[in-house]
């Protein structure tokens, strides 16, 4: 069994989850409450990774993060290293791949909050930012946890996009889903079975948690 692949998978999923919860919360709030021109276009763009084949997203990310792509070039200038085929590279890919799964439950949770509660916070002297942290976030915890769980599960299951952006470098970009694929390719069925089995209790427990949260919420 490729333990380092399991470790990389866990590291990637935790990084993606932590970053997305922080980044997606204000975006979801914006999409839930703020009216601005072109909002539906922006919202559709945010959800696009859910509707595209992972290899298509992977292809565009390779172009964008490669040495001639905008982000790849900037990264190279800033760090002296390429972005493709690195752990940082697959984190970026994973963030883009999972962003709809963070935004959707959070937006739904924010929309469930009674508008009068938010107005009451404004009347009581809170700014929009203070209202977000003191009223909206504490009353949307079930949606935020659901988003975190979904992102985590989605990240540990990513395959095609990570293969394209990160390849399969042991200890760096080879995640468990890729290791399982390669184990099967090389007819190491025992290794593939063990790694596959390790996913089931984790995914089951997390999905159970999401169901509980949905019931409570």
- Name residues contacting other proteins, limited to 117-146 (CB under 8 A): 117, 119-127, 135, 138-139
Q: Which of 34, 114, 129, 200 binds other proteins (CB under 8 A)?
A: 114
| Encoded tokens for 36 | 């601005």
Cα–Cα distance between 86 and 93 in angstroms, integer?
Answer: 11
Question: Are the C-beta atoms of residues 144 and 137 closer than 8 Å to each other?
Answer: yes
**Tokens representing residue 60 in the block:** 């565009």
Nearest distance from residue 23's CB to other proteins, in Å? 24
CA distance linking residue 91 with residue 95, whole number of Å: 6
Nearer Cβ to other proteins, position 124 or 197?
Answer: 124
Give the residue with the Cβ less far from other proteins, 19 or 111. Answer: 111
Query: Cα separation of 217 and 207, whole Å?
Result: 15
Residue 141 C-beta: closest distance to other proteins, Å? 8
Of the two residues 123 and 187, which places its CB atom closer to other proteins in the complex?
123
Whichever of 135 and 213 has its CB closer to other proteins, that residue is 135
Name the nearest CA neighbour of 121 among 24, 23, 33, 217.
Answer: 33
Min. distance of Cβ 132 from other proteins in angstroms?
A: 13
* Part in contact with other proteins (CB under 8 A); list of ranges 92-100, 111-119, 180-188, 197-205: 111-119
> Nearest distance from residue 147's CB to other proteins, in Å?
18
The tokens for 110 are 């924010």
Token pair listed for 43? 């919202």
Stretch that binds other proteins, among 33-41, 116-124, 190-198, 204-212 (CB under 8 A): 116-124
Task: Give 29 or 64: the residue with its C-beta nearer to other proteins.
Answer: 29
**Helical segments of 87-188, H only:** 87-112, 115-123, 128-131, 141-156, 160-166, 176-185
Other residues' Cβ atoms within 10 Å of the Cβ of residue 79: 11
Instruction: Determine which residue in the list 116, 129, 201, 215 makes contact with other proteins, applying CB under 8 A.
Output: 116
Question: How big is the CA angle at 24 (ends 63 and 173), to the nearest 5 degrees?
Answer: 45
**Which residue number, 54 or 217, has a Cβ lying nearer to other proteins?**
217
Judged by the rule CB under 8 A, the positions of this chain that interact with other proteins are: 114, 116-117, 119-127, 135, 138-139
């Amino acid at each position: 069994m490729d333990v380092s692949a399991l470790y990389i998978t866990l590291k990637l999923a935790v990084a993606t989850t932590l970053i997305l919860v922080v980044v997606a919360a204000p975006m979801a709030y914006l999409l839930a409450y703020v009216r601005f021109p072109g909002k539906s276009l922006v919202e559709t763009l945010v959800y696009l990774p859910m509707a595209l084949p992972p290899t298509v997203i992977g292809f565009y990310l390779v172009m964008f993060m490669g040495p001639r792509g905008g982000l790849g070039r900037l990264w190279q200038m800033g760090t002296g290293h390429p972005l493709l085929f690195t752990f940082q590279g697959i984190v970026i890919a994973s963030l883009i791949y999972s962003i709809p799964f963070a935004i959707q439950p959070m937006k739904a949770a924010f929309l469930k909050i009674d508008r009068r509660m938010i107005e009451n916070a404004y009347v009581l002297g809170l700014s929009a930012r203070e209202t977000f942290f003191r009223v909206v976030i504490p009353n949307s915890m079930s949606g935020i946890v659901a988003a975190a769980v979904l992102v985590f599960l989605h990240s540990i299951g990513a395959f095609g996009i990570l293969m394209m952006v990160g390849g399969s470098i042991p200890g760096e970009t080879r995640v468990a889903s890729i290791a399982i694929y390669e184990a099967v390719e090389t007819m190491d069925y025992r290794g593939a079975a063990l790694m596959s089995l390790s996913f089931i209790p984790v995914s089951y427990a997390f999905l159970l948690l999401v169901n509980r949260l949905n019931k409570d919420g």
